[in-house]
Structure 1
Amino acid sequence: MSVRTQLRSLGSVFVNYVADPVRDSPVNLAMARLVIAFYVVWKTAWIDWGIFMEVPFVAFDEYAFLFPTTYPQLLVVEKYLLLVSVLLFAVGYRIRLTGFLSGLIFGHVGLLRFSMNGSGGTTAIFISVYFLFFFALFASQDELSADGVRRTGQRSLDALITQLKSTTSTTFRADALKYSLLALGIIYFGSAFDKLFPDLQKFQPEWVMPYNLSRIVTTFHATRDQLFPFSQEVVNYPVLVFVMATTVLALEAGLIVAMLAKRSITPFILGLAGFKFSSIVLLGIFFGDAIVFFLLFFTWDTAYRRLVSSRRVDVVFDERCYFCARSLYPFKLLDVNDTMTFYSQSDLPEQYRNRKGIDYTTAMYLFDEDGNAYRGYWAFRELLRQLRVFAPLAWAMGTRPVAAVGERIYEYVAANRSRHFVCSVDFDAETEL
């Protein structure tokens, strides 16, 4: 790989969705949904409202009204309601409802925590509430989700089959990430502005002066145990301290400029991430929330593309079965390298016709590059192996106990799909026409 190619690859580690919210895969949006759900669970699961109810403490009296003093047990109910809601949001079920509900409840949790502790780790909760609301507003764009699979029920069988067999590239919008990134850029720009204009009246560059950061470093080292006590030596290099402070300002203010100018945001994201890690070295504190937020805009689809197997497989399914087509739709979305080719009985290649022991009307079949045929349950397992990210699940499906149960379930569903699911196409009638 040439140096130019490596630099180009490095420059695209994070996506500038403000410049272009369209991707050729829905993977990024799905992964971002999982990241924000993880963040909400991380910030919520450890809260023990029971302890607080025993010894209530409110640092800001003006927010005391937020606490249900008459029925404090409601806080425990709220916590578990939030966890259930955000887990449903994580799998993409009723995103519009679960996203808004999670955002509202999480916002209330943030206000409660802020009334006790106004640290950066608490105020970051309000940033994630914006993200949840944006995901809810643009829920219809999230295809790789439970809602996306449910929406296939609104399409005709012919439309689904056409999409499965299509070889043309499809694009997917991610406006939730576009506006989330824009909100993050505005917040960082506001942070830089507040450092230079703390009273909104005049320019005060004291924040970037060497003595300011040196004083902060000295205070933290004098009052806290440090992992890197030698880092206090940085105060002896005022030029370095000044460069560090001005670099932070440039990164915070420049992020939104890069977005609007349609330039790469990767240098700014990496620089800000480096600033968060440098806080560990200099001050002994780490603001991990920002790192999680940055991961929302990571090029997950590029990393995922490298995981998908390059092995080409052919899948033959029952074109009269609506349920079969809907079941295969997520695999089509996840096949970012176009390694899967879908066929129905009416357009089988010659090499798959009249093969002994194969009845395409009873089960789905998968054929690999070596001509090996996999039927039913084992065909689904091969599809999961093809995607590799599901390797643990595919391995479990190959174990004897799981396979014994899985095969029986598949055979039952295949034999009764017209009774329990929609398989309404009369293939013989269509042939007569």
Structure 2
Amino acid sequence: MLFALYADQDQLSYDGLRNRSSRGIDALNRHLTKPLTPKYRATPLAVFLFGLAVLYFGSGVAKVVLGGPEWVSATNLGRYIEHFYQLGYSPFVRDLVLQFDTLLLIAAIGTIVFELGFVFSVLFDRLFHLFVLLAISFHIGIAIVMGPVFLYSLVFLALFVDWEKILERLGPSNRSRSNTTTLTEGV
């Protein structure tokens, strides 16, 4: 329903492309070959992202207020990981992590920093891409050592990864947009 309120921003979905193609093949090709601009907005995704950031913030506040400084300790996090119902997807990695108090302490501090800081990175666009990568690492780490997999969060957070910048760094430096192939070429 939230996406329906912002139908004018629907440029990249199948329906958005279909509507654009109704104006002719040339209009569709122009649309597909131009790069995204900072004007591209995805308000529904931003609203959902802010809601997720508020949930993380609430969890971080609860850890600080209710758990106090004791929550940020290797022993406490180790107890959560070692609990009998936390099987994890890699018992070997879980057992390995539990042997290193420094690693557990870094993970506990990282959890608090991530949960409290993510909402500010969303609001003020500071270190946002770093916090998105932290969030993805956070959920992968939980899945490996504790077991719950928040796949929907991983997929949602992957929408905010700067894939273009990553591909630029991985690919050849002389890559140009002229090599871009559109969906309608050769038809």
TM-score (normalizing by structure 1): 0.33
RMSD: 3.9
CA contact (8 A) 2:87 2:145 kept: no
Matched, 1:275 2:144: no
Cα distance in 2 between the residues matched to 1:140 and 1:188: 30
Matched, 1:188 2:56: yes
Task: Find the residue that maps to 1:204 and give its secondary structure.
Answer: helix
CA, structure 1 residues 208+263, in 2 after alignment: closer, same or farther (shift >3 Å)? same
Task: Find the residue that maps to 1:143 and give its secondary structure.
Answer: coil
Matched, 1:219 2:83: yes
CA contact (8 A) 2:129 2:160 kept: no
Instruction: Give 1:219 deviation, angstroms.
Output: 1.9
Give matches, 1:8-87, under 5 Å: none
Counterpart of 1:292? 155
Cα distance in 1 between the residues matched to 2:5 and 2:107: 39
Cα distance in 1 between the residues matched to 2:112 and 2:81: 18
**Structure 1: runs of 5 or more not aligned:** 1-99, 101-132, 312-336, 338-385, 398-433
Counterpart of 1:177? 45
Counterpart of 1:264? 127
Give matches, 1:17-416, under 5 Å: 100=1, 133=2, 135-144=3-12, 145-147=14-16, 149-150=18-19, 171-198=39-66, 204-220=68-84, 224=87, 227-229=90-92, 231-299=94-162, 310-311=178-179, 386-387=181-182, 390=183
Kindly name which structure, 1 or 2, has the bigger radius of gyration based on alpha carbons: 1
Cα distance in 2 between the residues matched to 1:271 and 1:180: 18
Cα distance in 2 between the residues matched to 1:242 and 1:206: 11
**Structure 2: runs of 5 or more not aligned:** none
CA contact (8 A) 2:56 2:115 kept: yes
CA, structure 1 residues 212+308, in 2 after alignment: closer, same or farther (shift >3 Å)? same
Cα distance in 1 between the residues matched to 2:145 and 2:97: 8
Letter in 2 for 1:136: A
CA contact (8 A) 2:88 2:146 kept: no
Cα distance in 2 between the residues matched to 1:177 and 1:230: 34
- The sequence identity of aligned pairs, in percent, is 27
CA contact (8 A) 1:217 1:282 kept: yes
Instruction: Give 1:187 deviation, angstroms.
Output: 1.7
Counterpart of 1:42? none
Task: Find the residue that maps to 1:195 and give its secondary structure.
Answer: helix
Task: Find the residue that maps to 1:172 and give its secondary structure.
Answer: coil
CA contact (8 A) 2:88 2:143 kept: no
1:74-120: CA deviation from partner (whole Å, max 9, x where unpaired): xxxxxxxxxxxxxxxxxxxxxxxxxx2xxxxxxxxxxxxxxxxxxxx
CA, structure 1 residues 226+295, in 2 after alignment: closer, same or farther (shift >3 Å)? closer
1:23-63: CA deviation from partner (whole Å, max 9, x where unpaired): xxxxxxxxxxxxxxxxxxxxxxxxxxxxxxxxxxxxxxxxx
Letter in 2 for 1:206: E
- Could you say which structure has the higher strand fraction? 1
CA, structure 1 residues 224+295, in 2 after alignment: closer, same or farther (shift >3 Å)? closer
1:225-272: CA deviation from partner (whole Å, max 9, x where unpaired): 863335324334333322210111101211121222322311111122
Instruction: Give 1:192 deviation, angstroms.
Output: 0.9
Instruction: Give 1:183 deviation, angstroms.
Output: 1.9
Instruction: Give 1:181 deviation, angstroms.
Output: 2.3
Cα distance in 2 between the residues matched to 1:150 and 1:218: 53
CA, structure 1 residues 294+230, in 2 after alignment: closer, same or farther (shift >3 Å)? closer
1:284-316: CA deviation from partner (whole Å, max 9, x where unpaired): 4433222111022233566899898625xxxxx
Cα distance in 1 between the residues matched to 2:88 and 2:113: 30
